[in-house]
Structures are given as C-alpha cells and as structure tokens.
Amino acid sequence: AQSVTQLDSQVPVFEEAPVELRCNYSSSVSVYLFWYVQYPNQGLQLLLKYLSGSTLVKGINGFEAEFNKSQTSFHLRKPSVHISDTAEYFCAVSPTSNTGKLIFGQGTTLQVKP
C-alpha cells in the first residue's frame, strides 16, 4: 500500500518570499509523483510530475520539486511567491504498475500575504 504525508496543513508566507511545501511518501513499489494545485472553486490542475530521469522537476508557474529516493520525499519549492499562488496544493503518488489511480496527501494551503 502507499501513503502520502504533507507535513504542513497551512503555510503562510509573504509575497516575494521563497516557499517550500513538504511531501513524504511511503511505498513498497516504484511510484510516479505529482503535485496538483486547486484554486478556489476550481478543479485540480497539474503543477508538475516525476516519472523518471532527473530528480529536479520543473513545472508551471515557476514551481519546481526534487525527488529524493533515500528520504522518500518530493518537496515543492518556489523562489518567490505571488498573491496569485494562494491555493491548496496536493502531493500525490501513483504506483508505476497500477491502473494510474492517484493516492493523495491531505493538502497544504498556501496563504500568500501582501
């Protein structure tokens, strides 16, 4: 079985400051890793994904994440946030040999303050 833990339920940060949203996972099999974002009253939008290859993955809106196999982590970072980045962020995994179903973390609400 797989599980995903997002260590912070809420992360307040000032505009133009850097941010890191933490994600750890547990799995006995190989997994793909994802970060999704949900803006208010919208569906989930894919930010970035790690399937294989380089452990540093760049996504949309200036976000990036680094896959660390030894620490089973996939933390999301952005060097300078904007007010418009205020949203809920979800880390998810999907077993590589499975049907593609996603196992999500609990979500982290990023609150960017002016």
Partner 1 sequence: EAGVTQFPSHSVIEKGQTVTLRCDPISGHDNLYWYRRVMGKEIKFLLHFVKESKQDESGMPNNRFLAERTGGTYSTLKVQPAELEDSGVYFCASSQGMDQPQHFGDGTRLSIL
Question: What is the binding site for partner 1 (CB under 8 A)?
Answer: 4, 32, 34, 36, 41-46, 49, 51, 90, 96, 98-107
Q: Show the tokens assigned to 42.
A: 């919208």
Classify 51 in phi/psi space as left (phi over 0), alpha (psi -120 to 50) or beta. alpha
CB of 100 to partner 1, least distance (A): 4
CB of 4 to partner 1, least distance (A): 8
CB of 67 to partner 1, least distance (A): 16
Per-residue CA distances from 104 to 4, 54, 66, 101, 111 (Å): 6, 23, 18, 10, 20
CB of 84 or CB of 96, closer to partner 1: 96
CB of 24 or CB of 107, closer to partner 1: 107
CB of 7 or CB of 102, closer to partner 1: 102
Let me know: does 27 contact 93? Beta carbons within 8 Å. Answer: yes
